[in-house]
Amino acid sequence: MKIALAQLNYHIGNIEANTQRIIKAINDAKKQTADLIVFAELAICGYPPLDLLESNTFIHSCEQAIDQIAITCDTIACILGAPVRNTDPKGKDLYNAAYFIENKKVQTIIHKALLPNYDVFDEYRYFEPATGLQCIHFKGIKIALTICEDLWNIGRDPLYVESPMDILIKEQPNLMINIAASPFAHMHHQERVSVLKHNCKKYRLPIFYVNQVGAQTELIFDGRSTVFDADGHQIHEMASFAEAIQLYEFQNTQILLHHPSNPPENTNQSLIHDALVLGIRDYFTKSGFKKAILGLSGGIDSALVCALATEALGAENVMAILMPSEFSSDHSIKDALDLVSNLGCRHQIIPIQDSVTAFDKMLKPLFGDLPFDVAEENIQSRCRAITVMALSNKFGYILLNTSNKSELAVGYGTLYGDMAGAIAVIGDLYKTGVYQLCQHINRNREIIPKNILVKAPSAELRPGQKDADSLPDYAILDKILFEYIELRKSHQDIIALSIDEALVHRILKLVNHAEFKRRQSPPILRVSPKAFGLSRRMPIVGKYPTGQLLDFSKELV
């Protein structure tokens, strides 16, 4: 039996476009004489559709699309993810389902049993879990068909009471197929591979796993669909962050490849780079936007965002605005100009000092002789935000936010100033990660000027200002933040890493107090296992235990 895995980029809610993309893939697989083509979880509507699932019109459109796709399944069968109505008056209205279509008809519908309700997932809000499981039969072969999370109930402390494969294995299937919508996070693929290997070895069955690609606002899907044999050996892995259709042949438990594509070896930095580029590109194309604007300060954060945006959208579609004030250094302006020269993107220089002076004059009767402080610093940042948003409104640009994760974590940013934007490109990269990604971009030639990489970070909002005046060295800060946010360590555990106790208390207090700012920041492109936003949901006005510190020492799944 020839099996084609279709790794496609879907658009949430754009059922017509998704349907046409699926039909084209079916026709392409027919030309390769495939017997079966497999698509990803909720392929028909895109993942995650969120509250669109509560619309009867939306579900009806999905049903109509299934009928349209079924007509094309004459000489080929299809496995396709889509929502399906629950006809039982009990329980939720929908199932997350996999359709098996053969001979132009829906032959079987398999419901997802395990519904993740943690981290970025919220499936139990919409779907009813499966109550009955069965294999599908095709060309004399029994297929154990599961949907994403259905294979993840493993380990010493499993999250769910029962594993679907423990039920399906009783029918003695010949192979497993898993359709997924598994978001990208650096290092997550190793965990994914481990889970698939575990299932192959446990049930002594090969597996065909298909994942989608593309970005859906914050969530980025890396694809990397894969096939393992019954011994847990990886036969092949499809490309990351790219659409592809790959044909395999399943024959007497053996798996053969037909014209395999061999993706390049992926490093952690190359994957993060490709994820962010895809995240920007899909945000713009799927939203109908074309042109981006950002404030370019001469610092490393805006330089990285500008480089990524130029690669994603084309230099002609990126406008960098240099907005010097009286505190901006000459080298910052030169560094920014060197960057736009290297990138070839468009730019304008708009000094903001006149607007800052106007605000200072307007507020003088109220501020009186009070000393210069954060109020005057933030006026500069907000004048810049007003400037770029005026250009956005006038010329149709979409503002890119340039805040990094270290700043967002401790509240080192200005609401309605440098925290403004439609999408936060590097909001899930700590400052040390920003430097690493810049080095990756410069691996073949200097794109981001060397001086941007070596100078001390500064917001340049007062004379001689440096980030180090307010924050510890980023290497130490980011270690504390990573242990607290990603690893959910308690303050005692972090102090035990030989980090100064007073510093740990100070930083964690800053993190907890900055939640009101983060809640107002733009959506963040997610590249880590614990991004701000969908991944980490904390109360704004909640009282934190242990004197403003949180203790996550009990490991949570």
Backbone angles phi, psi at 488, to 5 degrees: 55, 45
Mean pLDDT of 420-449: 97
Confidence of residue 545 (pLDDT cuts 50, 70, 90): low
Which sign does the torsion angle of CA 22, 128, 286, 279 carry?
A: negative
Residue 183 pLDDT more than 50? yes
Q: Of the candidates 118, 110, 114, which has an alpha carbon nearest to the alpha carbon of residue 127? A: 114
> Given this model, what pLDDT does residue 280 score?
98
Domains and CATH numbers, the chain: 2-260 (3.60.110.10), 270-471+516-528 (3.40.50.620)
Over residues 452-461, the mean pLDDT reads 82
Query: What integer is the mean pLDDT of 105-123?
Result: 95
Q: What is the mean pLDDT of residues 41-55?
A: 97
**Strands, E assignment, 163-266:** 175-180, 207-211, 213-216, 219-222, 226-228, 234-237, 244-251, 254-258
At residue 501, the pLDDT reads 94
- Is the model more confident about 267 or about 94? 94
Backbone φ/ψ region at 55: left (φ over 0), alpha (ψ -120 to 50), beta:
beta
One-letter amino acid identity for 208?
A: F
pLDDT, tens only, 350-400:
999 999 999 999 999 999 999 999 999 999 999 999 999 999 999 999 999
Model confidence at 261: pLDDT above 70: no
- CA 419, chain centre distance (Å): 19
Beta bridge partners of 82: 97
Report, as an integer, the average pLDDT of 519-532: 96
Phi-psi region of 478 (alpha: psi -120 to 50; beta: other; left: phi over 0): alpha
Catalytic, out of 45, 135, 148, 438: 148
Q: Give the count of alpha carbons within 13 A of 264, CB side only.
A: 8
- pLDDT above 50 for 554: no
Strand partners, 234: 228
- Among candidate residues 2, 112, 431, 489, the one labeled active-site is 112
| Secondary structure of residue 492 in the 3-state scheme | helix
Choice among 41, 123, 237, 407 that is catalytic: 41
148 labelled catalytic: yes
What's the confidence (pLDDT) of residue 468? 76
pLDDT band for position 251 (cuts 50, 70, 90): confident
What is residue 547's predicted lDDT score, i.e. its pLDDT?
44
Per-residue model confidence (pLDDT) at position 226: 96
